[in-house]
């Protein structure tokens, strides 16, 4: 399998490369991200044939969208070859005299903050006007009218806790899904869905809207297979799933060294032990843990493609090498036996 292989998102009428690049690192996830290195990382992905790029207003509070847009316009010479997905649900705002912002949302356990993000505060808005404004703002930040996929970002109890019901009502009854449908009908986006870390909320959303494609992060990996039942339902409804978080925030890419993060935080002891067991099994077959992690989701027919993050050209090269590695069937059998 090659990273440039094309995979069809049937309902959206799009083809994405089998491997896509997630742009959270360019917003300063875990550590500061310099613009030259971010652009070099994007160039390495482009030169390797990667054509799906996923970003969000949240990533660096607007910074990642600016960097991706600059690269596609000014350096890649993109003539429509790229497929770009971004997200909606957060607006970027700043406090100023005479305007009070809503109180900050409760601490999100999956938000580690941004080391050199822009000086804005995020405001959640999943209603009609919020979705429309978020779409317009993303177009402006990227300097790009073409946005192929728009994902509702981080709707769910994991992010919002007791405020979830209010945000869900805004999305379902307050016009959020209606705005997305109008954008699709007008041809301004090719498709929409959810971009979340919770399988359960995608399942609920399929009862409320005509979804095309969803991005599920971290819930169908070597360490966490809790999204398996959702994948079965998505396949039955022709809802494509792009799988993100295949390294579970880094631990499956770092093996026994580096950033041993799990779900955007330091990995707890039980996860460290399980990752070490998985790495030991991979070593017996002379396959790196990262190679097994990046290919595992694609063993499920519901998964259209995989997204990985990178903060350097070397990270891109490593992921490509892992992705294109031949993996024996015997290894999969051994890994799937690990509880």
pLDDT tens digit sequence for 311-323: 999 999 999 999 9
SS3 content of the chain, % helix, strand, coil (to 5): 40, 20, 40
For the chain, the structural domain boundaries read: 6-336
Task: Give the pLDDT confidence score for residue 104 in this predicted structure.
Answer: 60
DSSP H or E run through 88: strand 83-88
β-bridge mates for residue 266, sequence order: 261
13-45 tens-digit pLDDT: 999 999 999 999 999 988 888 999 999 999 999
Least confident of 123-127, 180-184, 247-251: 247-251
Least confident of 3-12, 98-107, 155-164, 282-291: 98-107
Which of the four pLDDT bands, split at 50, 70 and 90, describes residue 48? very high
80/54: higher pLDDT: 54
Structure tokens at 32: 């500061």
Q: Who contacts 66 (Cβ-Cβ below 8 Å, separation ≥6)? A: 141, 142
Which of the four pLDDT bands, split at 50, 70 and 90, describes residue 9? very high
Task: Give the pLDDT confidence score for residue 25 in this predicted structure.
Answer: 94
260-289 tens-digit pLDDT: 778 877 888 898 899 999 999 999 999 999
- The whole-angstrom separation of Cα 338 and Cα 86 is 35
Task: Give the pLDDT confidence score for residue 337 in this predicted structure.
Answer: 84
Sign, Cα dihedral of 61, 70, 133, 13: negative
- The whole-angstrom separation of Cα 258 and Cα 261 is 9
Checking if the pLDDT of 118 tops 90, the result is: yes
Q: What is the homologous superfamily of the domain 6-336 according to CATH?
A: NADP-dependent oxidoreductase domain (3.20.20.100)
Structure tokens at 93: 């705002």
> Averaged over 157-183, what is the pLDDT?
96
Instruction: Give Cα 84 to chain centroid, integer Å.
Output: 12
Mean pLDDT of the chain: 92
Checking if the pLDDT of 99 tops 70, the result is: no
Could you give the C-alpha distances from 86 to 193, 214, 263, in angstroms and in order?
11, 12, 21
Which residues have a catalytic role annotated?
54, 59, 87
Checking if the pLDDT of 195 tops 90, the result is: yes
> Averaged over 176-196, what is the pLDDT?
98
Checking if the pLDDT of 244 tops 60, the result is: yes
């Amino acid at each position: 399998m090659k990273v440039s292989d094309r995979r069809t998102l049937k309902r959206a009428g799009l083809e994405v490369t089998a491997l896509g690049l997630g742009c959270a690192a360019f917003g300063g996830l875990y550590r500061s991200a310099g613009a030259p290195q971010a652009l070099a990382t994007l160039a390495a992905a482009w030169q390797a044939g990667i054509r799906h790029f996923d970003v969000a207003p949240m990533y660096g509070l607007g910074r990642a969208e600016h960097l991706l847009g600059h690269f596609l316009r000014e350096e890649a010479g993109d003539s429509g070859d790229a497929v770009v997905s971004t997200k909606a649900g957060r607006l970027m705002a700043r406090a100023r005299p005479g305007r009070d912002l809503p109180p900050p949302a409760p601490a999100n356990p999956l938000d580690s903050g941004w080391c050199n993000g822009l000086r804005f505060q995020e405001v959640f808005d999943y209603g009609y006007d919020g979705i429309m404004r978020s779409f317009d703002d993303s177009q402006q930040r990227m300097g790009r009218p073409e946005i192929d996929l728009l994902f509702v970002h981080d709707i769910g109890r994991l992010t919002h806790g007791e405020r979830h019901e209010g945000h869900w009502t805004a999305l379902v009854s307050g016009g959020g899904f209606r705005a997305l449908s109008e954008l699709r009908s007008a041809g301004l986006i090719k498709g929409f869905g959810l971009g979340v870390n919770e399988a359960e909320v995608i399942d609920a959303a399929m009862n409320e809207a005509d979804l095309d494609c969803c991005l599920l992060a971290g819930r169908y990996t070597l360490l966490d297979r809790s999204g398996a039942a959702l994948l079965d339902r998505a396949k039955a409804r022709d809802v494509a799933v792009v799988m993100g978080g295949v390294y579970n925030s880094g631990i499956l890419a770092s093996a026994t060294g580096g950033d041993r993060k799990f779900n955007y935080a330091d990995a707890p002891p039980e996860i460290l032990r399980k990752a070490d067991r998985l790495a030991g099994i991979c070593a017996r077959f002379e396959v790196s843990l990262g190679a097994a992690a990046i290919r595992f989701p694609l063993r499920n027919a519901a998964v259209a493609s995989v997204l990985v993050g990178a903060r350097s050209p070397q990270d891109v090269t490593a992921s490509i090498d892992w992705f294109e590695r031949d993996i024996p069937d015997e290894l999969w059998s051994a890994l799937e036996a690990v509880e």
